[in-house]
Amino acid sequence: YMSFIVPGLIMMSVITNSYTNVASSFFSAKWQRNVEEMLVAPVPNWVIVAGYVGGGMARGILVGAIVTVIALFFTDIQIHNIWVILLTVSLTSAVFALGGLINAVFAGSFDDISIIPTFVLTPLTYLGGVFYSISLLPDFWQGVSQLNPIVYMVNAFRFGFLGISDISLTVAFTVLGVFIIGLWATAMYLIRKGIGLRS
């Protein structure tokens, strides 16, 4: 069981840290009015978005690596496919870094940053197959679980370690790709229009 839940715990730490790093740092820049300087600087919008997302990804992946090292003290970690692990953790951290950026754009106060992680991300993570296989659920709840995007991320990541997954890898990577494209386009639109940034 320890070997089963470790990939889920690693992914949970990656998700949380990728999201909160970007949300807090971008909102801090917005609150201190540093964002306005970036917007008037001769820097393309995609560089601003990529910079914040890259920072969030770096923190998420680093914390995930630390959790992995700590997990080695409690269980043996096997690696089935290192490329699936690396690709999944990179795409997942990018998705949640972009989500954190979008959250920070709309946030009006520091309290607004914690609303999404507390009331959306935490329930989705705990119901995302971190601690159990969705194949153990009745058919109806399996269908409901497949509406949760974190299920696809956790299962693809777990496949990289154990070689087992409740979800097709093709479907999982397709879901990740769609989220990245959609969130990137949204973030670029918000920065370009200055929504929530220009007073």
SS3 1: coil
Q: In the structure encoding, which two tokens stand for residue 43, read together?
A: 């820097």
Q: What is the pLDDT at residue 144?
A: 81
The Cα 44–Cα 90 span in angstroms is 23
- Residue-wise over 164-178: b if at least 16 C-beta within 10 A, else e? ebbbebeebbebbee
Q: What is the pLDDT at residue 30?
A: 84
Among the listed residues 20, 196, 18, 52, the one whose alpha carbon sits nearest the alpha carbon of residue 116: 20
pLDDT in tens, the chain (199 residues): 677 788 888 999 999 999 999 999 998 888 887 777 777 778 898 999 999 999 999 999 999 999 999 988 888 888 888 999 999 999 999 999 999 999 999 888 887 888 888 888 888 888 877 787 777 787 887 778 778 888 899 889 988 888 888 888 899 999 999 999 999 999 999 988 877 776 5
The Cα 33–Cα 182 span in angstroms is 27
